[in-house]
Amino acid sequence: MSWKSEVEELERRKELAKQMGGPEGIERQHRRGKLTVRERMDKLVDPGTLEEFMELGGYGHYDGEELVGFTPKASVEAVCKLDGRKVVVSAGDFTVRGGSGGSGRGGLGQEPSSNRRAMEWRMPYVRLLDAAGGSVRSFEDIGRTYLPDGNGWSTLDVQLLNVVPVVSAVMGSVAGLPAINACLAHFNLMVKDTSQLFPGGPPVVKAALGYDITKEALGGDHIHVRQSGVVDNLAQSEEDAFEQIRAFLSYLPSNVHEMAPRAEPHDDPARRDEELLSLVPRDRRKVYDGHTILEHVLDKDSFFEIGPLYGRARITGLGRVNGYPVGVMANNPKHRGGSTDVAAGNKVIRLLQLCDTFHLPLISFADEPGFMVGLESEKQGIERAGARLVCVTCASRMPWITFVVGKLYGVAGQCQHRPSGIFRRYCWPSSNWGSMHIAGGVAAAYRREIDNAPDAQAKLAEIEARLNAMASPFRTAEATGQDIIDPRDTRAVLCEFVEEVQGVLRTQLGPPPAPYLP
């Protein structure tokens, strides 16, 4: 006798699982402009590499011993390859009970979860979130209510941030614990017009606060990508989301015990772009786009921006220098003069943590007027945000190089420097610095002298001119030995630095000294 009938039953159950929530649920998903979970898997992973696990999980419906129906669990878990590298993927299936919890089982003998497998196998972890979180329907399934104790699972998600790269993609309406999982990641994104994120949706808001609101108005991309900063990037389509996931992971190692992969160099490390010589305007009232510096200094077409629509006074992202992955940040004078506000500071903190966790050199192009001032900045708590930035800066250890291209003022300017570990700083001749701007500081520091002068405006101009004469970067170099370079030499200096620090990075392999906090 053979086990042919049991193997046929196995294949039948697999086919039932692939039917997801049935034709009606699939049609509803498509009507909303969304792919099904299995269509997403097919578009994300390298062809032929999908290896599902726990695919038989769900609820079987029996007539005696005969299976007469099957409701699969509301997620698909798999090991697969992205660009030839193995990753673990967990994807919510909104066609099954809106992807809500309670549609699977657990208990004694439970197989390892997807996040545990990512932890144990030290593979990058990708969540495709399309789930409503907990549902009151689950009370009927288990015959009772329950005490919230989800941190038994979340503890592993928190630990995972210090071991492997984690990406969360908000692919639909995401609420409850999945909404928190959207943020328990090193990079997250949502899809334009089809993604929303909130702890509780419109019915919960109505019950709690008494007003009506749509999903999009409550938690659409206009809120989270532009205002709250909860989500890093906006994808124009689901296919664009998959491309961004692949791009982000390409800069990082599979885990903290490995070096980040070097791409084949394709750009001359000694390239000297003439445009750098006149990029920073001599007229301080004129601005430039900070992205332009990156285009001239990094490997061509290698910059992947993180958070481009939030905290726009700072540019943050990943790039390559002579093929080596690096973290990159730059002030952008086109937005708020480049002043670091709370939003921009939060972006920088996450970038510093990312570089420290995955052993990437940090490259900074500083044109820093200081922390953002004014009433709105005070309401947002700029001082506490600044203190957090100081703490993370001083606690970091990855090799860091700063190029001061323009202004460098105050404590925000201080955060472009680190007194320990591998740190180098170079300045362009266009740079100027101090504890605060001369134009704003003279009125405070010389108030009595100005007020007692026969012509207050003339005295103010006289003092400013006297101090501006001392602001040449060459005077600082005379006293401190500060290196000032031709802007056209920036790429060559940077390539040499990144090459030289690879040996230091190898000594830092392993978990970061401070835990990653999203």
Determine which of 14-18, 344-348, 479-483 has the lowest per-residue pLDDT on average: 14-18
Of residues 435 and 207, more confidence is placed in: 207
Question: Rounded mean pLDDT of 473-498?
Answer: 95
- Return the half-sphere exposure (C-beta side, CA atoms, 13 A cut-off) of residue 515: 10
In angstroms, the CA 138 to CA 221 distance is 30
Give the pLDDT of residue 320: 98
Q: Is residue 174 classed as helix, strand or coil in its secondary structure? A: strand
In angstroms, the CA 126 to CA 73 distance is 18
- Flag whether pLDDT at 56 surpasses 70: yes
Question: Rounded mean pLDDT of 57-67?
Answer: 85
pLDDT digits (tens, 9 = 90+) for 322-366: 999 999 999 999 999 999 999 999 999 999 999 999 999 999 999
Token pair in block for residue 347: 């972006």
196 contacts 34 by C-beta, under 8 angstroms:
no
Give the pLDDT of residue 433: 84
| Burial zone of 91 (CB within 10 Å; 0-12 exposed, 13-18 middle, 19+ buried) | buried
Give the pLDDT of residue 105: 56
Give the whole-number percent of the chain exceeding pLDDT 90.
Answer: 72
Query: To the nearest whole number, what is the mean pLDDT of the chain?
Result: 91
Give the pLDDT of residue 103: 44
Closest CA to 245 of 359, 126, 153: 126
- Flag whether pLDDT at 23 surpasses 80: yes
Q: How far is CA 118 from CA 69, 78, 80, 121, 448, in A?
A: 32, 10, 12, 5, 65
Q: Which residues pair with 129 in a beta bridge?
A: 170
Give the pLDDT of residue 462: 65
In angstroms, the CA 283 to CA 133 distance is 54
Q: What angle do CA 214, 127, 96 make, to 5 degrees?
A: 60
Query: Where does the pLDDT of residue 74 fall: very low under 50, low under 70, confident under 90, or very high at 90 and above?
Result: confident
Give the pLDDT of residue 212: 95
pLDDT digits (tens, 9 = 90+) for 118-142: 999 999 999 999 987 666 566 666 6
Give the pLDDT of residue 449: 76
Report the sign of the C-alpha dihedral through residues 174, 351, 269, 407, in that order: positive
- Flag whether pLDDT at 460 surpasses 70: no
Token pair in block for residue 55: 């695919």
DSSP string, 196-262: EE-SS-HHHHHHHH-----HHHHHSHHHHTTTS--S-EEESSHHHHHHHHHHHHHTS-SSTTSPPPP
Q: How far is CA 260 from CA 399, 479, 498, 502, in A?
A: 14, 39, 13, 10
The helix or strand, by DSSP H or E, that contains position 121, with its residue range, turns out to be helix 114-121
pLDDT digits (tens, 9 = 90+) for 162-183: 999 999 999 999 999 999 999 9
- In the chain, what are the domains? 4-250 (3.90.226.10), 274-428+485-507 (3.90.226.10)
Give the pLDDT of residue 44: 97
Residue given tokens 């500081």 in the structure block: 441
pLDDT digits (tens, 9 = 90+) for 375-399: 999 999 999 999 999 999 999 999 9
Of residues 448 and 516, more confidence is placed in: 516
Give the pLDDT of residue 470: 67
Query: Where does the pLDDT of residue 145 fall: very low under 50, low under 70, confident under 90, or very high at 90 and above?
Result: confident
pTM value?
0.92
Give the pLDDT of residue 442: 55
The DSSP output letter for 7 is H
pLDDT digits (tens, 9 = 90+) for 92-123: 998 887 666 544 455 667 889 999 999 999 99
Query: Where does the pLDDT of residue 151 fall: very low under 50, low under 70, confident under 90, or very high at 90 and above?
Result: confident
- Flag whether pLDDT at 231 surpasses 70: yes
Give the pLDDT of residue 61: 84
Closest CA to 413 of 425, 430, 422: 425
304 CB-near residues (< 8 Å, 6+ apart): 247, 248, 251, 317, 318, 319
